[in-house]
Structures are given as C-alpha cells and as structure tokens.
Amino acid sequence: MTIFVLDQVPRNMQMHVAKKLMSYSNICAEQVGFIEKAIVHKELEDKCLRLQMMGGEFCGNATRALAALMVHNQYPNITKAEDGHTVQLEVSGIDSIINCQVYKTEDDNTYLSQVNMPLPKEISDFSFEVDGIVFSSIKVEFEGITHFIVDSKKVKDKDLFFKQIKNEMDKTHYDAFGIMYYDYNEEFLEPLVYVKGTDSLFWERSCASGTSALGVALTYMKKKNIDQKVRQPGGLLQVTTKWSENSVESICLNGTVEIVAEGIVNV
C-alpha cells in the first residue's frame, strides 16, 4: 500500500510527515511518496511530475501506482495511445526519466500498469556468514536500492539474517536495501525492505524493484531471456527481461494497480 501526498511538502518535513501517515494503523501503508514538479529534467517541468519517495529511494511499485493515478485523474500532458496511455515520470533515486504504460480494466479503479525498470549498475555473486553458516546470494545493485536474492528455504532465523546483511550494508553508502526471500520451487517471493532515511523495515506485500532484481538474478543464472510470473503476498507481478551479449538489456514489470481511497489527513 502506497500513500501519495499531493500537497507540496518541503523536503526537510517529508520524513516527519511520512512517519505520521504510516503510524495510522487503519491505513496500513508500507511507504509514502510526495508529488513534486520535475526538478532534474527542467524541460519537462510542465509535462512531467516527480515522485519523491519518503527516504529518497526508488520504488517501482509506487512509480506504477502514480502512473495509474495520473490516468485515473485524467492528468493533462500524458500520451494516449489506441489501447492505453504513456506516462513519463521523474523518480527519486535515479536520474533518468521512467516510462510507464497504463491500461484500463473493467473495474473503474483498477489498472494494468507496466514500467520499464532501470537497469542494474552491477550484478554479482555474494557470500557471507551468519551464525557460522555461509550463505550464497545474488546481489543486484540499482540506483537507489540494492537487493539480495536468497533461497528462502535455507534461512532459519530471518531476524539474524537481516542484522548481518545490515551490518554489511552499513559499511557502504546506501539509500535502501532489500532481502528477497525466494522459494525456487513454489516461485514465491517474500520481500523485506529497509529504508535508511526513515529507519523503516517492512515485509512488503509486493516489491517492484525486488521483483526486477529477482528477474535479473534468474536471467544472470540462466544466461537467457525470462518471462516470469512471481507470486507474492500481495498478488502477482510479471517480470520480463532480455539477455544480450552477457548482460541484461531490458527489464519490464507489469501488474495491476487498484486505487482504493482519496481524502484529507491532518498531521
């Protein structure tokens, strides 16, 4: 669940506002995004919105959701195609413009939203020791967030596992990281995400960047294109990748977005 704040909130107040909104237990929010004007690509200021996440991180699901919301609210200056809409967004955590494709469904509040995800900066095998046991994972580094793909069946103490990963990450500069616990047999993903700026840790119902990282890891392991439906606690996300000349050439993520409520909150 993502909350979008439409009012302009100064950056130095965003973290405080986000924590207040997330403290409301009846909202059940996992993250908060603040809607701003484009600031990196000034030439698109009148045509493109900026999504500034609460911790300055990149969030693929929030990006897909905002694109769907813009179509739902008939935001001007988005491109309408025969069967859908193209939405350009500037998003925290990355410098490039993100392109989304949004399609209406039979439900007025539900959309199919597809995003071309940014490519990873680095993919590597990563091993570390937890309580005397050596674990192997695949580390996928994006701008704004790093993910570790881990075989869920091999981890018994996930709290201890998280602490060890955090100890490793605290030796570096980072905005956020995720541990993607994946059951390779059941094809089921449990995403755990930590955002440094807000010191927040969540078992997410769905994680777009984590699903992309999983797609990258599977592509890296198999050395070929993949088209994989990934089950998560919040439902399905579909990740499609292209493998060319020993690297990942593209990542596309697709799934439904439901707009559930809109209103005013006093903080």
Helices 208-222 and 60-72 cross at an angle (nearest 10°) of: 130
Task: Please tell me which residue in 28, 48, 100, 207 is annotated as part of the active site.
Answer: 207
Q: Which helix (H) or strand (E) holds 32?
A: strand 31-37
User: In the chain, how long is the greatest CA-to-CA distance?
Assistant: 58
Residue 100 a catalytic site member: no
Neighbours of 100 (CB within 10 A): 25
Find the catalytic residue in 28, 59, 100, 252. Answer: 59
Strands 79-80 and 85-91, how do they pair?
antiparallel
Per-residue exposure over 225-260, b if at least 16 CB sit within 10 Å of its own CB, e if not = ebeeebebeeeebbbbbebeeeebeebbbbbbbebe
Q: Which helix (H) or strand (E) holds 20?
A: helix 11-22
Residue 207 is among the residues annotated as catalytic for this protein: yes
Token digits of residue 43 = 């030439």
Question: Could you list the active site residues?
Answer: 59, 207
